[in-house]
Amino acid sequence: MNAADCIFCKIARGEIPCEKLYEDDDLLAFEDANPAAPVHFLVIPREHIETLDDVEERHKTMLGKMMLVATKIARDKGIGATGYRQVINCRKSGGQVVFHLHLHIMGGRDMRQMG
């Protein structure tokens, strides 16, 4: 999958609509189209990085920023105190479906019911 055909690159370029929560030069956060919890949004880098297995040393700052942006939005959505999950699925065995790195934030219910 290259950046031209990638669904999340298309979202980042504004070619596919999304419910945007945050954006800057490096990152984009938007609501998951098929939520698995009352709160379920994604944080993605603008750069087309296929999987967590493809990250490099130069991505270190961006990875930390992804978690911090996610944490701030979670707090704004009122789930900071009750808690939530931040998850990155990596490749086939990790359950990855979209091959553009993304961080899931899921909460608003008891997430201990999930595996």
Task: Tell me the per-residue interface mask from 17 to 56 with Zn ion, x by CB under 5 A, - otherwise.
Answer: -------------------------------x--------
Binders of Zn ion: how many residues, by CB under 5 A? 5
Q: Tell me 36's DSSP state.
A: S
Residue bearing tokens 């553009």: 100
CA-angle at 95, arms to 98 and 76, nearest 5°: 70
For the question of residue 102 being annotated catalytic, the response is yes
Among 40, 48, 100, 102, the one annotated catalytic: 102
Distance of CA 5 to the CA centre of its chain: 18
Find, among 11, 21, 31, the residue nearest to 69 by Cα.
21
Asked if 27 and 18 count as a contact pair (C-beta separation under 8 A), the reply is no
Calpha distance 63→48 (Å, rounded) = 13
Hey, what's the torsion of the CAs at 57, 80, 101, 49, to 10 degrees? -40
How near is the Cβ of 71 to ligand 5GP at its closest, in Å? Answer: 19
Considering CB distances under 5 to 8 angstroms, the limit depending on partner class, which of ligand 5GP, Zn ion, none binds residue 9?
Zn ion
Considering CB distances under 5 to 8 angstroms, the limit depending on partner class, which of Zn ion, ligand 5GP, none binds residue 34?
ligand 5GP
> Of the two residues 31 and 110, which places its CB atom closer to ligand 5GP in the complex?
31
Residues in contact with ligand 5GP by CB under 6 A are 7, 16, 18, 30-34, 89, 95-98
- Contact residues for Zn ion (CB under 5 A)? 6, 8-9, 48, 100
Q: Which residues are tagged catalytic?
A: 102
